[in-house]
Amino acid sequence: MDEEAITIRLTRDQGFVLSDWLYQVMLQSDDLEGIVHDRAVWSPIYAISGTLDKTLSEIFMPDYGLRLEAAKE
């Protein structure tokens, strides 16, 4: 298989909103299996989530909710 990396470009707001959604699905609801039935898709989902967590300082800020609402707009 080809293991060449690909790059996905998102705006910071898009990444923040996606990071929050992934968190809700993967950690709080623990329902990734109910949403994504093909386990082969889980690996890239976790890779994207991990990259967003490392990149976005906003997810650790005390005004997370306000920043998330602003990003959604």
Q: How does the average pLDDT of the chain come out, rounded?
A: 89
Say if 42 falls within a structural domain.
yes
Say if 5 falls within a structural domain.
no
Say if 36 falls within a structural domain.
yes
Q: Which residue has the higher pLDDT, 33 or 54?
A: 54
Question: How far is it, in rounded angstroms, from Cα 71 to Cα 15?
Answer: 9
- In this model, does residue 2 exceed pLDDT 80? no
Q: Provide the domain limits for residue 57.
A: 12-72
Say if 27 falls within a structural domain.
yes
- In this model, does residue 1 exceed pLDDT 70? no
Question: How far is it, in rounded angstroms, from Cα 71 to Cα 10?
Answer: 12
What's the pLDDT at 29? 61
Q: Which of 47, 25, 44 is nearest to 34 (CA)?
A: 25
Say if 3 falls within a structural domain.
no
- Structural domains of the chain, count: 1
Question: How far is it, in rounded angstroms, from Cα 55 to Cα 26?
Answer: 18
What's the pLDDT at 34? 76
Say if 1 falls within a structural domain.
no
